[in-house]
Amino acid sequence: MKVLSIGNSFSQDAHRYLHKVAKADGVDLKCVNLYIGGCSLSRHFINMNNDAKAYSFEFNGESTGIMVTMKEAIQSDNWDYITLQQASPYSPYYDSYQPYLQELSKYVRYHAPKSKLLLHQTWAYEQGSERLESMQYENQEDMFHDLESAYAKAGKDINVDGIIPAGQCLQNLLANGIVKVHRDTFHADFGVGRYTIALTWYGYLTGNDVEGNSLTEFDQPVSEEEIKIAQKSAMQALAK
């Protein structure tokens, strides 16, 4: 299976353990992320029109040092899935998605007509963070509710093949007792946060059960109890 993400640091978070989670389950999953930090749909749209060699090509969760255009990446393989997403500061505001998402989806479908197009639902910021407050949110649950609604509307508007519920899995982590799921109040934690997102992606893409996944090597320690909670949180997101 092969997945390409046209994203930013949030898809980088998602991809860090994705290949490893799949490998631990005996599945060969090729993961490529097109990375520009903080890249919004409007910027992807500009890069698309300019055929800009602006993307860092990340392979199986690792940087390669290679720079590519969006078209080069899309045409480089026969992708089973291609994902798009909005940059996190704009994710709750549907007006920021269009007309850029509509044009990007047409472009992806033209160059990869056999690939399924997915949206990567991003996530809410940490409770009490300055970024959350700057967006006029008192409660991070309200930010999540708004971005969840925006992604759902976006998915209907472009007739997407699915939405990966990464934001939901982090909400589940919080509800299940993991206090710290962010590393800097907005990106995912290097351990349990990224792991839970990877499990959610893996389960969504393959339909395989994530309970009991044997991956144990992470960039920062994840306890056995946290692994169980991560798997539970991912399964809850996938079941919603």
- Break the chain into its structural domains and give their ranges: 2-239
Q: Please enumerate in sequence order all residues whose Cβ is within 8 A of that of 140, keeping only pairs 6 or more positions apart, or say none.
A: 124, 125, 126, 127, 129, 132
- Listed in sequence order, the residues at least 6 apart from 70 whose beta carbon sits closer than 8 Å to its beta carbon are 6, 34, 44, 47, 48, 51, 52, 55, 107
Diameter over CA atoms, the chain = 48
Burial (0-12, 13-18, 19+ Cβ within 10 Å), 216: exposed
CB atoms within 10 A of CB 236: 18
**Nearest residue to 1 via CA among 29, 31, 33:** 29
Distance CA 152, CA 26 (A): 32
Express each pLDDT in 98-142 by its tens digit.
Answer: 999 999 999 999 999 999 999 999 999 999 999 999 999 999 999
Residue 42 backbone phi and psi in degrees, to 5: -65, -40
- The per-residue DSSP string of 196-226 comes to HHHHHHHHHHH----TT------SS---HHH
- 2-239: CATH topology is Rossmann fold (3.40.50)
Cβ-in-10-Å burial (0-12, 13-18, 19+) of 49 comes to exposed
d(CA 187, CA 145) in angstroms, rounded, equals 18
**The pLDDT value given to residue 240:** 83
Please identify every stretch of the chain with a pLDDT value under 70, giving residue numbers as ranges: none
- Report the pLDDT value the prediction gives residue 222, as an integer from 0 to 100: 97
Burial of 2 (0-12, 13-18, 19+ CB in 10 A): middle
- Tell me what pLDDT residue 147 has: 98
Query: pTM here?
Result: 0.98
Distance, CA of 214 to CA of 233 (rounded, Å): 16
* Residue 233 identity: S
Q: What is the pLDDT of residue 14?
A: 98
pLDDT, one tens digit per residue, over 159-174 is 999 999 999 999 999 9
